[in-house]
Amino acid sequence: MSEDSVYERGMKTRREVLGNDHVDAAVERTTDLTADFQDFITRYAWGEIWTRPELNRKTRSCITLAVLVALGKLEELEMHVRAARRNGLTEDEIGEVLLHSAIYCGLPAANAAFAVAQRVLADNNGPTGSRGDERE
């Protein structure tokens, strides 16, 4: 597959998972310093990994949420709670991922994650809301 088609596939997936508003804002904020990074995440994260057929997007969202809880990356978690809703996870399923994360990542990490998820789900009431302040 050509590099251009991997980039195009990545951008399509990125838009489907994160939403056009978010991706447009990230593209607008691209500078000479961040251009290679934006290209990198579009090609590899979104064009190579998120498009692999062995896991569906709901499963990938579950994994992403759990990893972000483990790493304490709450700003990214906020973005990916929205993405999880867009990928079809229910509020209850998101809660289950966070509860499961409490056992393996620790109670403080899960407590902070629940606070983020509760705020995002209340503010956005579904999969299409976007505050536009995410970086990825």
Which residue matches tokens 């090609």?
Answer: 43
pLDDT (mean) for 119-127: 78
Q: Which of 35-39, 120-124, 130-134 is predicted most confidently? A: 35-39
Per-residue pLDDT at 35 exceeds 80? yes
What's the pLDDT band for 4 if we cut at 50, 70, 90? Answer: confident
Average pLDDT value for the chain: 91
What's the pLDDT band for 132 if we cut at 50, 70, 90? Answer: very low
Domains and CATH numbers, the chain: 3-49 (no CATH), 57-124 (1.20.1290.10)
What's the pLDDT band for 130 if we cut at 50, 70, 90? Answer: very low
Find all residues with CB under 8 Å of 36, minimum gap 6, and list them: none
Q: How many other CB atoms are found less than 10 A from the CB of residue 91? A: 15
The per-residue pLDDT for 124 is: 72
Give tens-digit pLDDT for 65-114.
Answer: 999 999 999 999 999 999 999 999 999 999 999 999 999 999 999 999 99
Per-residue pLDDT at 125 exceeds 90? no
The model carries a pTM of 0.86
Q: How many other CB atoms are found less than 10 A from the CB of residue 5? A: 10
36 neighbors 93 (Cβ within 8 angstroms): no
> How many helices, marked H, and strands, marked E, lie in the chain?
7, 0
136 neighbors 26 (Cβ within 8 angstroms): yes
